[in-house]
Structure 1
Amino acid sequence: MEGNVKETDRLSEVLLTLVRYLVDRPEALSVNVVVHDSSVLYELRVAPEDVGRVIGRQGRVIRALRAVLRSVGARDGKRVELELLE
């Protein structure tokens, strides 16, 4: 279980690092991780004015972030979800 905790912490940091370059208010960023038996939910919170930047045109940016998280999770046999909150 400890390896999974380290992996979710590391993945949270990667997610924050990527999103930090997209937003105008990086100080408002936070990630909450909800771990279930076979899935992990990352709740990404951003400032209201940065939501559009994180979603991107036609949802391209958020889909790309979700794809990265899912591919890492699949390697570990976990279903990974990303939810954007403001």
Structure 2
Amino acid sequence: MNYERIMLDLITPIVDNKESLSVKVLPTLEDDEVLLNVYASSEDVARLIGRRGIMASSLRQMMSIASRTENKMITIKFESY
């Protein structure tokens, strides 16, 4: 499953600066774990996290639903530059 593509499809309509947006899947020690790093401008990261983390929680929940078919646990980190 292409987790980068799924995440990009979810967050691209939300951000203003679509060119600066990128998602990377990082390797982990566990086979059943996936680590996603979302890189965006500081304004867009604030928008993706949302007030009290509501948007981030929703994105994490949507990605966990997508990963259930492969029995994987998804960890998402938001980073600005």
Aligned residues: 78
**Equivalent residue, structure 1, for 2:6:** 14
Q: Per-residue deviation at 1:20? A: 1.0
**Equivalent residue, structure 2, for 1:32:** 24
Structure holding more helix per residue = 1
Q: Which whole-Å deviations, capped at 9, do the CAs of 1:27-58 have from their partners, x for residues lacking one?
A: 01111102431100010111112111101121
- Listed as ranges, the matches of 1:75-86 within 5 Å are 75-86=69-80
TM-score of the two chains, using structure 2 as the length reference: 0.86
Please state whether the residue corresponding to 2:23 is helix, strand or coil: strand
Q: Per-residue deviation at 1:24? A: 1.0
Taking the aligned partners of 1:55 and 1:14, their CA distance within structure 2 comes to 17
- On the 8 A contact 1:69/1:81 being kept in 2, the answer is no
**Equivalent residue, structure 2, for 1:52:** 46
Runs of 4+ in 1 over 3 A off after TM superposition: none
Q: Per-residue deviation at 1:17? A: 1.8
TM-score of the two chains, using structure 1 as the length reference: 0.82
Taking the aligned partners of 2:33 and 2:39, their CA distance within structure 1 comes to 19
